[in-house]
Chains A and B, each alone.
Chain A
Amino acid sequence: EIMMTQSPVTLSVSPGERATLSCRASQSVSSDLAWFQQKPGQAPRLLIYGASTRATAIPARFSGSGSGTEFTLTISSLQSEDFAVYYCQQYNNWPRTFGHGTKVEIK
């Protein structure tokens, strides 16, 4: 099973600032990496797939990069609705596995 490690656990950012989240895989997953956003009391929402492709209706301020074992999610200018928990998930191998998340909170 591929282990996904996310850092930091918590990221404190002011509205309008840039947020950079990291995700590392225990072995190469090529570009088979997705990012999800989850707000309290809600199900996760797909943001990014293929490491860098935004899902339908996802704003351009969200961008993803990386391949192999190192990945980054960048939110260029945080809006109030972006404060949430973000998870990476690999889909290169079964079982698909998630990281434990990065909470983006208001500074």
Chain B
Amino acid sequence: QLQLQESGPGLVKPSGTLSLTCTVSGGSVNTYNWSWIRQSPGKGLEWIGYIFYTGSTNHNPSLNSRVTISVDTSKNQLSLTLNSVTTADTAVYYCASLGGLWQLPDIWGQGTIVIVS
């Protein structure tokens, strides 16, 4: 059974860089497609981006290319980097595997809260 666990600094200063990892167990990171989704009181649930096992990535245009999503097969981890953060980036960040024909988030991590202050 695939299990995901997000981790990273809970507090980031404005204009700094948010870096999160998602540790995958029960499966190999390079055989699945992955997503990052965040949730804030103001904006609700928001797709950040995704990465396919082929290496293809895409991110939400609203994030103005501040986003980098990658995988580290040696550590079996997924990573998210978000540059130039502001208080609007304060949220709970989730990683999720994408499943089925339509690549929907079907297995989620528990989420990690990041506060920009």
Contacts and interface: CB of A to CB of B under 8 A. Distances in A.
Interface in A72-107: 87, 89, 91, 94-101
A7 B19 CA distance: 35
Given A95-B47, A98-B45, A32 B102 contact: yes
B26 interface: no
A91 B104 contact: yes
B106 A1 contact: no
A43 B61 contact: no
- Kindly list the 9 A-B residue pairs having the minimum CB-CB distance in the complex, ordered from nearest: A43-B108, A98-B45, A95-B60, A96-B47, A100-B44, A95-B47, A46-B106, A49-B104, A43-B94
A96 B61 CA distance: 11
A101 B44 CA distance: 8
A34 interface: yes
Contacts, number: 47
A98 B45 CA distance: 6
B110 interface: yes
Interface of A: 1, 32, 34, 42-46, 49-50, 55-56, 87, 89, 91, 94-101
Nearest to A92: B102
A14 B105 CA distance: 30
A43 B6 CA distance: 12
A55 B62 CA distance: 29
Interface string B27-61: 00000000000000000111100000000001011
Given A43-B111, A95-B61, A98-B47, 12 more contacts: A32-B102, A34-B104, A42-B110, A43-B96, A43-B108, A44-B105, A49-B102, A49-B104, A87-B45, A96-B47, A98-B45, A101-B44
